[in-house]
Structure 1
Amino acid sequence: MTETESFAYDVVVIGAGPVGENVADRTLAAGLSTAVVESELVGGECSYWACMPSKALLRPVIAHADARRTPGLRAAARAPLDAAEVFAHRDEQTAHWKDDGQVEWLEGAGAALHRGHGRLSGPRTVTVTTPEGRTETLTARHAVAVCTGSRAALPGLPGLRDGAVAPWTSRGATSAREAPGRLVVVGGGVVAAEMATAWQNLGSSVTVLVRGSGLLERMEPFAGELVSQALREAGAEVRTGVSVTGVSRENGTVVAVTDAGDRVEADEILFATGRAPRTDDLGLETVGLEPGSWLEVDNTLRVTGSDWLYAAGDVNHRALLTHQGKYQARVAGDAIAARARGEAPPTAATADDGAVPQVVFTDPEVASVGVTLAEAERAGHRVRAVDVDLATVAGAGLYADGYRGRARMVVDLDREILRGVTFVGPGVGELLHSATVAVVAQVPVARLWHAVPAYPTISEVWLRLLETYRG
């Protein structure tokens, strides 16, 4: 019979990714004893299989593309990327999938780390099964925070359902040691667009199969159009309006069958078709919640119907982005600390509603915040889209020859504020925070005239947008 060891803390956090780390950081700073439970690597998905490795793969790709558009560098940029060096750099950025540094930070902050699979086993109680098979029971005096994130969701297709084909998901795409000769990417969202960009330029021949009408359909239409154009120019094939009905592996070759009856052959296949919450084996049923469900929360990240359970990050489905999850974690940690003192929470997570910033690290980059024109119109706002060709901006022409890009701001005509902003083009990711401030602060358009952009930078697009709006 396995003996159970018991521990008591003020707060127990399940999940040691960036979100869980930030909850712990806030509660520890408030003087609350805090335990963190992690079944894999401290640092989570972002550090080892998502944000960091994907951008480590993409940064050389984008720099190489910029060099090809820069006078004086074109000859040097004709050589292909050194894929081995790129992979080595990726491995360094992921600390070679070792979490010693992250553990040192967490324990240095004062958290108690419990390695193993954590499950709720009743109100304020978490049971941990350690890698050695021991059982630990953690009791939380004030709160349990679920920060377990999300995982890739695979469709129930023939060949996947029976395990005949082991596809890449986002994890496989960011950790592969070499470029497959042929890669099929199924999906049209951010992961599909970024990984198609990376692997096409790292030596693979990429075919993208998109069920919808184009890439990045949740963003302004021109975003997906420009990214698709660039992928095709790089040599990738992008097929839209195509559904995969089954996959098989024949003599080492992956075969994807489409709804049109076409057979697309490849060495590897990446499914980037959505995310699912990591709550299926979390013990939600012990506290009256549905296993495998997204967790509904209020603006302090407390789970609906509970006075002790919190859920921050992907797991609540509000905004599946690391920076939004960390933002939620800061709000949740402060709320837990305040309520432990018998006080009202000092702030609420309002940025998840209509002011979410995101950068897609393709070539060209896509940066957006707030709502699209279509979303604003569906919400009943009286709005106007103001568009500018980024090639008309002096700083863009200096950034790269043949600069190609577009900017849009969605103006609320009744309130004269910005509801959303989208930039597409090389280097536009660094423009995004100015747009985020304008949207979040609801800066009046008339006031934006007095925020003078430096010349000659790409940020001068703000002046062009305002001039176009004034007419």
Structure 2
Amino acid sequence: MSPDGDTLGPMTAREYDVIVIGAGPVGENVADRTVQGGLSTVIVESELVGGECSYWACIPSKAMLRPGAALRAVRDVQGAASAVTGELDAAAVLARRDTFVHDWDDTSQVEWLQGAGIDLVRGHGRLTGEREVTVTGQDGAETVLRARHAVAVSTGSAALLPDIPGLREVQPWTSREATGMREVPASLAILGGGVVGSEMATLFTSLGIPVTVVARSGLLRGVEPFAGEAVAKALTDAGADVRTGVEIERAARDAGGDIVLTLSDGAEVRAAEVLVATGRVPRTADLGLDSVGLTPGAWLDVDDTLRVRGVDWLYAVGDVNHRALLTHQGKYQARAAGDVIAARARDGAVDDGPWGAHVATADHSAVPQVVFTDPEVAAVGHTEASAEKAGLQVRVLDYDLSWVAGASEVADHYRGQARAIVDEERRVLVGATFVGQDVGELLHAATIAIVGEVPIDRLWHAVPSYPTISEVWLRWLEAYGR
């Protein structure tokens, strides 16, 4: 590798045990595990080493969301509230973001690769044959890489732009423009009520920007309904305009430069910018999938060891396999994929049974997620609806978190709700949802209970500390009974 990590020097071809396409957190983890498994590994990246999460998604968005959450928390504690005057400093919020993304400089990430023994080739990688990747650099030069054992695709996903007349022409923002903005817009319209739309509505509302959210099916549709309802109420109370049951029919810019969105009910929404947050598409369109008999632009179908079905040397890890579009789940998959690639290269045993070391079993039943809205939403496993759809006989345990003694220690006007889903046949927890301030820190306990299939009777002996919000576990057990 050259000192600056740009290329491997002048060459036409080079052979490795493993080639990883995509140097985000997922690709980095695949490569780290294969190197630890004794396999020579090269990683290919066309943008910044560290990927979407580090520079345009998880890290910058949470860095910008935290000041608003901190301000709301202080304002709801008597004795502290009087010490705070004024509103958020938008410029300081953006400056804080810049420190987290290192001003979009990946030097430290490249140094990590070097220290881990992972080679780097910068450029756009495409599959050009069996176990072969051709990388085109910015100067047009091509480097051919060949893998003795495996190629892993970890190219992630990109924002979906719906086919709405005029939308592309108004140059809408995606999550990248929102998290990478240099200046705060005068107003913002958000199309979509999922995680990105809800978090960005929370962010821009906290910055004092007029925000309109257009979400046909409401907010946070994939979790328990009460979670989205709580977030919508908080946004409305903070001054946002949340419109559900309608959709955008067309978009255009007026003579003054504002974007005008015409809704299906005939109403119009005007904003300086519009953020599209309606879903994701895989970054596989220009990956050369057709060279190995796969469909360009498609999600890659994998087995539980993350191997692409029908191509025994190709792995798809992270967003591209559409199993769970979350960084932590992608890294979890990466650990399994890297280890199984190394095992297969050594003709070693493959532990591919349920909860085995070489499979991503948790993708099916124990995916945790925190949504950093106001209030915070944390969920893992089944919702009531998904459990019933799966044919489970369940019992639902609901509890108002404001009734827990620890909640009043956190905030003077704490509002929140917690729901547990119990599989009655096995008497184990299969789902949990928490809504309220700081509930993200409750989630891992629920994740452990679900993954470990801890019996309800044993949970009685896991005593929550007092006074903390974790006391909700005791309240759930009391509601369930012995």
TM-score of the two chains, using structure 2 as the length reference: 0.95
Q: 2:94 is matched with which residue: 87, 90, 103?
A: 87
Residues 334 and 345 of structure 1 are in contact (CA less than 8 Å); yes or no, is this contact kept in structure 2? no
Q: Which runs of 4+ in 1 moved over 3 A?
A: none
Residues 38 and 117 of structure 1 are in contact (CA less than 8 Å); yes or no, is this contact kept in structure 2? yes
Equivalent residue, structure 2, for 1:141: 148
Equivalent residue, structure 1, for 2:251: 247
Equivalent residue, structure 2, for 1:364: 375
Shift of residue 30, structure 1, vs aligned partner: 1.1
1:31 aligns with 2:16: no
Equivalent residue, structure 2, for 1:185: 190
Shift of residue 4, structure 1, vs aligned partner: 6.8
Question: Equivalents in 2 of 1:130, 1:178: separation in Å?
Answer: 32
Q: 1:122 is matched with which residue: 117, 129, 136?
A: 129
Question: Equivalents in 2 of 1:309, 1:97: separation in Å?
Answer: 31
Structure 2: segments with no counterpart, 5+ residues: 1-9, 352-356
Question: Equivalents in 1 of 2:304, 2:146: separation in Å?
Answer: 25
Amino acid at match of 2:446: A
Residues 4 and 134 of structure 1 are in contact (CA less than 8 Å); yes or no, is this contact kept in structure 2? no
Shift of residue 77, structure 1, vs aligned partner: 3.4
Name the count of aligned residue pairs: 466
Residues 386 and 409 of structure 1 are in contact (CA less than 8 Å); yes or no, is this contact kept in structure 2? yes
Question: Equivalents in 2 of 1:22, 1:6: separation in Å?
Answer: 25
Q: How does 1:207-286 map to 2 (within 5 A)?
A: 207-212=212-217, 214-250=218-254, 251-286=256-291
1:205-231 deviation line (CA, Å, top 9, x unaligned): 10100111x210110011001111111
Q: How does 1:43-442 map to 2 (within 5 A)?
A: 43-160=50-167, 163-212=168-217, 214-250=218-254, 251-346=256-351, 347=357, 348-442=359-453
1:338-364 deviation line (CA, Å, top 9, x unaligned): 000001323211010110000000111
Question: Equivalents in 2 of 1:309, 1:384: separation in Å?
Answer: 42
Amino acid at match of 1:428: V
1:100-134 deviation line (CA, Å, top 9, x unaligned): 00000011111110000000001100000011110
Amino acid at match of 2:230: L
Residues 181 and 203 of structure 1 are in contact (CA less than 8 Å); yes or no, is this contact kept in structure 2? no
Question: Equivalents in 2 of 1:75, 1:166: separation in Å?
Answer: 43
Question: Equivalents in 2 of 1:149, 1:20: separation in Å?
Answer: 9
Of all paired residues, the percent bearing the same amino acid is 63
SS in 2 for 1:304: coil
Residues 68 and 78 of structure 1 are in contact (CA less than 8 Å); yes or no, is this contact kept in structure 2? no
Structure 1 vs Structure 2 CA RMSD? 1.0
Residues 335 and 345 of structure 1 are in contact (CA less than 8 Å); yes or no, is this contact kept in structure 2? yes
SS in 2 for 1:386: strand
Question: Equivalents in 2 of 1:302, 1:61: separation in Å?
Answer: 42
Amino acid at match of 1:241: G
Shift of residue 178, structure 1, vs aligned partner: 2.2
SS in 1 for 2:31: helix
Question: Equivalents in 2 of 1:147, 1:322: separation in Å?
Answer: 11
SS in 2 for 1:306: coil
Question: Equivalents in 2 of 1:193, 1:73: separation in Å?
Answer: 28
SS in 2 for 1:422: strand
1:135-177 deviation line (CA, Å, top 9, x unaligned): 00000000000000000000011112xx421111010111112
SS in 2 for 1:403: coil
Equivalent residue, structure 1, for 2:3: none
Shift of residue 468, structure 1, vs aligned partner: 1.3
Question: Equivalents in 1 of 2:365, 2:94: separation in Å?
Answer: 37
Question: Equivalents in 1 of 2:209, 2:365: separation in Å?
Answer: 37
Shift of residue 78, structure 1, vs aligned partner: 4.1
Structure 1: segments with no counterpart, 5+ residues: none
1:379-419 deviation line (CA, Å, top 9, x unaligned): 11110110000000000011001100000000111110011
